Chain A
Amino acid sequence: QKEVEQNSGPLSVPEGAIASLNCTYSDRVSQSFFWYRQYSGKSPELIMSIYSNGDKEDGRFTAQLNKASQYVSLLIRDSQPSDSATYLCAVNMSGGFKTIFGAGTRLFVKA
């Protein structure tokens, strides 16, 4: 089992729709979870951090964490073409000493 798993996509949604990105992880004791966005040819950019079970909202983005199911997701409301990018799920593991990234999900938002 991979340490952090994401559906590679591509995920295609129409403009204005909700995009739902999912991630599962293997380390039961992980405490810190992150979502990054990476445009082609650019560096990863932090969107959200989440540490507690439940939902965390920031503008059009909502991160959801369920530690019992070892599952974290990112919802993007009112998706825009500018949201088209690769979204990386990252989980802090090994007692907090390293952050492991998933392979990323490519999102396309069609105008």
Chain B
Amino acid sequence: DTAVSQTPKYLVTQMGNDKSIKCEQNLGHDTMYWYKQDSKKFLKIMFSYNNKELIINETVPNRFSPKSPDKAHLNLHINSLELGDSAVYFCASSASVASEAFFGQGTRLTVV
């Protein structure tokens, strides 16, 4: 049973389109995150949610809009996709804001 699952695993889309990535965790964790890993493999935090509330927004363009309907879910919607948005997006969760994070399998987004 997958602890942190995100869908889809691969996403290929054209510039200007809008797309969503879904994430669910069954670990009972309070905190969820979105990270972006670029072509240089650098893993950068985008958003952090604790108990459904946004606590960190790392100066991400407002084309990116996270939404947490409940503690177990954190979705990411991206408007007007750009070439530079191509990356692997990882969802993660942790028991609390300071504890270790567990990652989903990643979504490889390619914008053409």
Which residues of A does B touch, CB under 8 Å? 31-32, 34, 38, 42-46, 49, 86, 88, 90, 92, 94, 96-101, 103-104
Contact status A43-B105, CB under 8 Å: yes
Contact status B45-A100, CB under 8 Å: yes
- Which of these, A46, A86, A100, contacts B41 with CB under 8 Å? A86
Contact status B41-A104, CB under 8 Å: yes
Contact status A34-B56, CB under 8 Å: no
Contact status A31-B98, CB under 8 Å: yes
- With contacts A31-B98, A44-B43, A86-B41 known, is A98 near B103, CB below 8 A? no
A-B contact count (CB 8 A): 56
Contact status B104-A98, CB under 8 Å: no
Contact status A32-B41, CB under 8 Å: no
Contact status B100-A101, CB under 8 Å: no
A35 to B, closest residue via Cβ: B100
Q: Is B66's beta carbon under 8 Å from chain A?
A: no
Apart from A43-B104, A99-B94, A104-B41, list 9 A-B contacts with CB within 8 A: A31-B98, A32-B100, A42-B105, A43-B90, A44-B103, A49-B100, A90-B101, A98-B48, A103-B41
Contact status B98-A96, CB under 8 Å: yes
Contact status B100-A98, CB under 8 Å: no
The 6 closest A-B pairs by CB, nearest first: A96-B98, A43-B103, A101-B43, A49-B100, A32-B98, A98-B56
A78 to B43, CA, bound (A): 28
A46 to B4, CA, bound (A): 13
Q: B55 — which chain A residues lie within 8 A by C-beta?
A: 97
